[in-house]
Amino acid sequence: MSDLLQVLMTRIASDGPMTVADYMSECLLNPDYGYYATRDPFGMAGDFITAPEISQMFGEMVGLSLAQAWIDQGAPAKIALAEVGPGRGTLMADILRVTRAVPGFVDAADVHLVEASATLRAKQQEVLGDHLTWHNTVDDLPEDKPLFLVANEFYDALPIRQFQRDREGWREKQISQHDGALFAGLGGHAPVPVLSHRIEDTNDGDMVEICPAAGPITNAIGTRIEQNGGVALIIDYGDWRSLGDTLQALKAHAHVTPFETPGETDLTAHVDFEALALTTPSAYSKLTPQGVFLERLGITQRAQTLAAALSGEPLDAHIAAHHRLTHPQEMGNLFKVLALFPKGGTPPPGCET
Ligand code: SAH
């Protein structure tokens, strides 16, 4: 039995069944045994690959959108350039490289990283060098200057709770233990006020999810943007309103069952972007498919420029990466972009209202 499985069994034995959110939180971030706390899971050799790890073009387009938004807001002299959940630091490295071509942007920016994992903080320092400030939560981001922020595949790692509807109301999915194994069941009926608006669009047997941490995080980001200016680009897989069980576990690029090997697989859930939009005091854009966002920013022209210097296998890989990021049947439509920006302002390039 793994150490984390032992910890969870002991906890369930003493406190009773746990919510899916508590389970996810332990699996991902337990300081001793959690998935992100103990490893660098990215890349071909890891369990999954994210857009910035697929091609430098992703970070370049994000960087250009942020820098153009900075120019559109009058090129403020001091800004916080922030990333939540920076992983290996690849996305921020690409943003900083491409925006060096935008006079004044990098000089105006202090880089702030919100990262829970000590292992990944060390990796980020290695890639990005000095002059970084890390925070445990978005609440510690600066409140005295404009905030230009990106979150890629961050919200999907936040713990969710799952509720199943039946004739009498909602029952929450919970994790129990039996004979040395964990299993998922349903708790008793209980009122769930935050789901009152979901009665109209669900049927008996449907599962809905809520992400309790997502609202306060979005509110903290949106409050800073509304007060001091800036923009946020929130990029993730999901949709405007969640329906169904979207919890998934990935190991070595394959789907596995979420409750079997706690701490050893990446656990994610689709992001309910409506829930984010409802909690920000700032303006927000239409939900934009990632492929559309990248095309609007000129990824195809950029891909052609880079292709001119390539041939053979690297050229094939480059073309495949462009396709993977943008094609509707790959990441182009599954992943979406929601931009936050000040009320009365304009959305960052790539997004529309
Ligand atoms: N943005 C990166 C990594 C995505 S993986 C990329 O696109 O490649 C999720 C990242 O969020 C990891 O860096 C993980 O350690 C971090 N993370 C997960 N939950 C967190 C939390 N509650 N607070 C801060 N960071 C968190």
For residue 42, pLDDT beyond 80: no
Does 37 have pLDDT greater than 90?
A: no
Question: Pocket of ligand 1, candidates 27, 113, 154, 268: which has the most ligand atoms within 8 Å of its Cβ, to mutate?
Answer: 154
Average pLDDT over residues 47-70: 96
Residue 120 Cβ contacting ligand 1 at under 6 Å: yes
What are the sequence ranges of the domains in the chain? 35-156+211-290+336-341
Q: Indicate whether residue 117 lines ligand 1 (CB < 6 A).
A: yes
pLDDT at 221: 98
- In the predicted structure, residue 36 carries a pLDDT above the cut 90: no
**Res 39 pLDDT > 90:** no
Query: Within 13 Å of residue 327, how many CA atoms lie on the same side as its CB?
Result: 8
Q: Report DSSP letters for 11-42, one per residue.
A: HHHHH--EEHHHHHHHHHH-TTT-HHHH---B
Using the atom order of ligand 1, give the atom closest to the CA of residue 42.
8
Q: Could you tell me if 338 and 287 are in contact, meaning their C-beta atoms sit under 8 angstroms apart?
A: yes
Distance 201 CA to ligand 1 centre (A): 31
Q: How many CB atoms lie within 10 A of CB 205?
A: 9
Structure tokens at 195: 């789901």
Q: Is the pLDDT of residue 350 over 80?
A: yes
Q: Which of 22, 38, 117, 325 to mutate to test the pocket of ligand 1 (most atoms within 8 A of CB)?
A: 117
Q: Whose CA is nearest to atom 20 of ligand 1?
A: 116
Among the four given CATH numbers 1.10.274.10, 3.40.50.300, 3.40.50.10420, 3.40.50.150, the one describing domain 35-156+211-290+336-341: 3.40.50.150
Specify the ligand 1 atom closest to the Cα of 90: 8
User: Binning pLDDT at 50, 70 and 90, where does residue 136 land?
Assistant: very high
Report CA(338)–ligand 1 centroid distance (Å). 18
Compute the distance between CA of residue 28 and CA of residue 8 in angstroms, rounded to an integer: 13
**Is 50's C-beta closer than 6 angstroms to any atom of ligand 1?**
yes
pLDDT exceeds cutoff 80 at 227 = yes
**Looking at residue 65, what is its pLDDT?**
98
Query: b/e string for 304-328 if b means 16 or more Cβ within 10 A?
Result: eebeeeeeeeeeeebeebbebbbee
- How many residues are recorded in the chain? 353
Average pLDDT on 5-18 reads 94
pLDDT at 242: 81
3-state secondary structure of 282: coil
Q: Which helix (H) or strand (E) holds 209?
A: strand 207-210
Q: What are phi and psi of 335, to 5 degrees?
A: -90, 145
pLDDT for residue 1 is more than 80: no
- Say how far residue 14 (Cα) sits from the centre of its chain: 33
Q: What is the pLDDT of residues 171-199, one digit of tens each?
A: 999 999 988 899 999 999 999 998 988 98
pLDDT grade for 46, boundaries at 50, 70 and 90 = confident
Asked whether 325 lines ligand 1 (CB < 6 A), one says no
What is the reported pLDDT for 140? Answer: 98
Q: What is the pLDDT of residues 150-176, one digit of tens each?
A: 999 999 999 999 999 999 999 999 999
